[in-house]
Amino acid sequence: MQSIDVQSLASWLAEDAPPLLLDVREDWEYAIVHLPGCLLIPMGQIQARWESIPRDRPMVVYCHHGLRSAQVVNFLSSRGFDSIYNLTGGIDAWSAQIDPDLPRY
């Protein structure tokens, strides 16, 4: 499984061709904090909705700390997705290291 740290993701998002961000947390978590422009599909819905996920660009999957997103990356990889990355530390690491103004929970 490929992983990406928050510093590398921040740099990538500033480029002309940023990755798709897939948030696999629950709706209530998304309501607290999320990264702009992300696609929300809670982990429990991935098996039913994976075919609707765009494959036209690289993807970074994130959750709160990186555990759920790692499972989703493994699942999607087994379905033929390539160029897919797990965000190490999840949105909690992003809030702590990149944007401390974002709420943490």
- Position 102 in a domain: no
d(CA 32, CA 103): 7
Residue 32 is assigned to a structural domain of this protein = yes
* Domain hosting residue 79, numbered range: 2-97
Residues of the chain with pLDDT under 70: none
Q: Tell me, what's the pLDDT at 79?
A: 97
Task: Note the pLDDT of residue 61.
Answer: 98
Domain annotation covers residue 78: yes
pTM (2 decimals)?
0.96
Residue 36 domain-assigned?
yes
Q: 2-4 and 84-87: which strand pairing?
A: parallel
Does the residue 68 lie in any domain?
Answer: yes
Tell me the C-alpha distance between 81 and 53, whole Å.
10
- Among 24, 21, 26, smallest CA distance to 49 is for 24
Q: Which two tokens stand for residue 73?
A: 């990356």
Instruction: Please tell me the total count of domains within the chain.
Output: 1
**Residues with catalytic roles:** 63
- DSSP 8-state class, residue 19: P
Q: Is residue 103 part of a domain?
A: no
